């Protein structure tokens, strides 16, 4: 029998689940998850969720948005027209990506405090480390309570890998999940990338996800080792 030719793999978008029941709670994110669950009984009108890339802050923010009915704005697109229609809870995402009009964010923070209007902000960078030109806004951001999501532990990484595979309709054996979690970069961003690459390789080779397949993909993710310099 002749070898099967390589098949074109269609890069079809998968649809990750972002509901409350799909958020995986573990030690690194428990404080943030508990904080969201306490809404509307927050001690302050506004707060910032700070976490590394793909650590779950957008998922958690979406859980809160669905619970509170909040409007959603991207920080780097804030402009004058946003103020007119803001009435209730408000989600402002990705402060680290820049702030469109700083005076608008300062005004929204003031409105939230005056009207007891809940506002949740997200960022990869702590608010005190953001590059903000407007002194009043810089001071206000630094005063906001921060809810941090820590880097994932092994238990959370395994759960996230299972979820990413499930989002792609793939059932992977526990020993394979354990192998991937042990040998991958220990970050949520890496989990998403590794799963996407393994999924693509499995589709291209018409194989199920095995430890051997995972090992091959993980090897491609390793940084190249530099050869020692002669005489050192």
| Structural domain boundaries in the chain | 20-148, 154-221
What distance in Å separates the CA atoms of residue 197 and residue 210, rounded to the nearest whole number?
Answer: 13
**Mean pLDDT throughout 74-100?**
93
| Neighbouring-strand partners of residue 71 | 90
Instruction: Bin 207: left if φ > 0, else alpha if -120 < ψ < 50, else beta.
Output: beta
Token pair, residue 173, equals 């054996």
Within this chain, domains 20-148 and 154-221 share the same CATH topology: no
53 SS3 class: coil
Q: Reply yes or no: is the peptide bond before residue 72 cis, omega within 30 of 0.
A: no
CATH class of 154-221: mainly alpha
The CATH number for 20-148, chosen from 1.10.3260.10, 3.20.20.140, 3.40.50.2300, 3.40.50.300, is 3.40.50.300
**Mean pLDDT throughout 184-208?**
90
pLDDT surpassing 60 at residue 223: no
Please name the residues in contact with 172: beta carbons below 8 A apart, sequence gap of 6 or more.
Answer: 161, 162, 165, 209
**Mean pLDDT throughout 195-216?**
94
pLDDT in tens, 7-48: 333 333 444 444 555 677 888 888 999 999 999 999 988 999
121 SS3 class: strand
Least confident of 43-47, 85-89, 100-104, 136-140: 85-89
Structural element, H or E, at residue 91: strand 90-93
Per-residue confidence band for 54, with pLDDT thresholds at 50, 70 and 90: confident
Token pair, residue 115, equals 């009207």
Percent of the chain with pLDDT over 70: 86
Per-residue confidence band for 209, with pLDDT thresholds at 50, 70 and 90: very high
Among 97, 95, 93, 100, smallest CA distance to 79 is for: 100
Among 63, 201, 61, 55, smallest CA distance to 122 is for: 61
pLDDT of residue 63: 92
């Amino acid at each position: 029998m002749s070898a099967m030719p390589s098949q074109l793999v269609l890069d079809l978008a998968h649809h990750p689940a972002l509901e409350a029941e799909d958020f995986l709670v573990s030690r690194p994110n428990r404080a943030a998850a508990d904080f969201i669950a306490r809404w509307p009984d927050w001690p302050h009108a506004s707060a910032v969720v700070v976490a590394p890339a793909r650590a779950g802050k957008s998922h958690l923010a979406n859980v809160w948005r669905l619970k509170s009915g909040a409007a959603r704005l991207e920080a780097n697109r804030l402009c004058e027209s946003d103020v007119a229609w803001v009435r209730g809870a408000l989600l402002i995402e990705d402060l680290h990506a820049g702030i469109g009009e700083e005076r608008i964010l300062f005004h929204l923070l003031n409105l939230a405090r005056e009207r007891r209007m809940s506002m949740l902000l997200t960022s990869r960078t702590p608010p005190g480390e953001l590059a903000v030109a407007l002194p009043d806004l810089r001071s206000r951001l630094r005063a906001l309570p921060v809810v941090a999501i820590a880097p994932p532990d092994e238990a959370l990484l395994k759960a996230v890998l299972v979820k990413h595979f499930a989002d792609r309709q793939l059932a992977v054996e526990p020993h394979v999940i354990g192998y991937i979690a042990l040998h991958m970069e220990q970050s949520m961003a890496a989990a998403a990338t590794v799963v996407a690459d393994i999924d693509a390789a499995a589709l291209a080779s018409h194989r199920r996800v095995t430890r051997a397949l995972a090992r091959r993909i993980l090897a491609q993710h390793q940084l190249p080792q530099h050869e020692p310099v002669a005489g050192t």
